[in-house]
């Protein structure tokens, strides 16, 4: 691929985990490191794209040439991505967004003295950023989603492609050591709309990202 084959394309990337605050000192999150999304953002930027990165907590450094929007919770990530979306040509949704948030207790620390026998926390659903933006994409907008599962990956990818109106889903099985959360490498299967699932070898995340951008650049 030529060096600047994404020149002039505006691309939204969501990355990292989200953090859902419960009380004054505790929150709900997941082990996403933002590594895969950072690799995508950097690959896009190196190839000339104008990148808007919406970053959950703990996302690694990014080059200054990438517009970075730091967010905390899923609803905030949704609001920022939603506001940017209409001006974008493509979106790559790598973030591990919390599907549910605990009903917040407020700014005070919950005291264990009142809960010797344990206690329950209620959760409410968060907006699905990819599904919302995918389902209102206009002509010319391209959407790439991710799927991380512990089993049933092929079916889940096929389902998400349709439900989220994505053009491609990149799937990986989590739980192994060579792929998924926090790993330096990834072993993915990609499924493009109208195509057959394609298995890529174990690759460093920057190389997985480079191939995803190859696919975007060809569109
Ligand atoms: O449905 P599931 O969470 O497994 O789908 C994963 C894909 O959807 C990822 O691309 C993820 O970034 C995106 N997603 C999202 N907002 C959510 C949940 C998932 O953008 N609330």
Whether 30 is catalytic? yes
Q: Is 146 annotated as a binding residue?
A: yes
Question: Positive or negative CA dihedral for 164, 8, 185, 85?
Answer: negative
pLDDT at 39: 97
Task: Quick: pLDDT tens for 89-105.
Answer: 999 999 999 999 999 99
- Look over the chain and give the mean of its residue pLDDT values, rounded to a whole number: 95
Predicted structure pTM score: 0.96
**Nearest alpha carbon, ligand 1 atom 6:** 147
Phi, psi of 142 (to 5 degrees): -115, 135
Q: Tell me, using a 6 A CB cutoff, whether residue 93 lines ligand 1.
A: yes
The superfamily in CATH containing domain 10-104+119-218 is CoaB-like (3.40.50.10300)
Q: How far is residue 61's CA from residue 41's CA, in Å, rounded to a whole number?
A: 11
Task: Quick: pLDDT tens for 18-64.
Answer: 999 999 999 999 999 999 999 999 999 999 999 999 999 999 999 99
Which atom from ligand 1 is nearest to the alpha carbon of 14?
12
**What are the boundaries of each domain within the chain?**
10-104+119-218
What ipTM was assigned to the predicted interfaces of this complex?
A: 0.98
Ligand 1 centroid distance, CA of 111 (Å): 33
E-only strand ranges, 16-141:
20-21, 27-28, 50-55, 67-70, 90-93, 100-102, 123-125
Residue 189 in this model has a pLDDT that exceeds 80: yes
Angle at CA of residue 81, ends 39 and 63, nearest 5°: 35
What is the band of 2 on the pLDDT scale with cuts at 50, 70, 90?
low
């Amino acid at each position: 691929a030529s060096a600047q084959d994404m020149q002039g394309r505006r691309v939204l990337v969501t990355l990292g985990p989200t953090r859902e605050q419960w009380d004054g000192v505790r929150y709900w999150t997941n082990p996403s490191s933002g590594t895969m999304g950072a690799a995508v953002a950097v690959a896009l930027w190196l190839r000339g794209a104008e990148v808007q990165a919406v970053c959950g907590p703990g996302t690694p450094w990014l080059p200054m040439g990438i517009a970075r929007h730091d967010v905390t919770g899923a609803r905030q990530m949704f609001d920022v991505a939603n506001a940017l979306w209409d001006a974008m040509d493509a979106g790559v949704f790598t973030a591990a967004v919390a599907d549910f948030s605990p009903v917040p207790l407020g700014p005070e620390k919950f005291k264990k003295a009142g809960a010797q026998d344990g206690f329950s926390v209620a959760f409410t659903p968060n907006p699905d950023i990819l599904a919302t933006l995918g389902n209102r994409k206009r002509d010319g907008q391209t959407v790439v989603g991710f799927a991380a599962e512990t089993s049933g990956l092929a079916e889940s990818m096929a389902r998400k492609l349709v439900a989220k109106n994505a053009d491609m889903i990149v799937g990986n099985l989590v739980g192994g050591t060579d792929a998924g959360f926090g790993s330096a490498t990834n072993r993915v299967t990609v499924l493009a709309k109208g195509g057959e699932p394609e298995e890529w070898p174990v690759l460093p995340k920057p190389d997985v990202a480079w191939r995803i951008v190859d696919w975007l650049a060809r569109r």
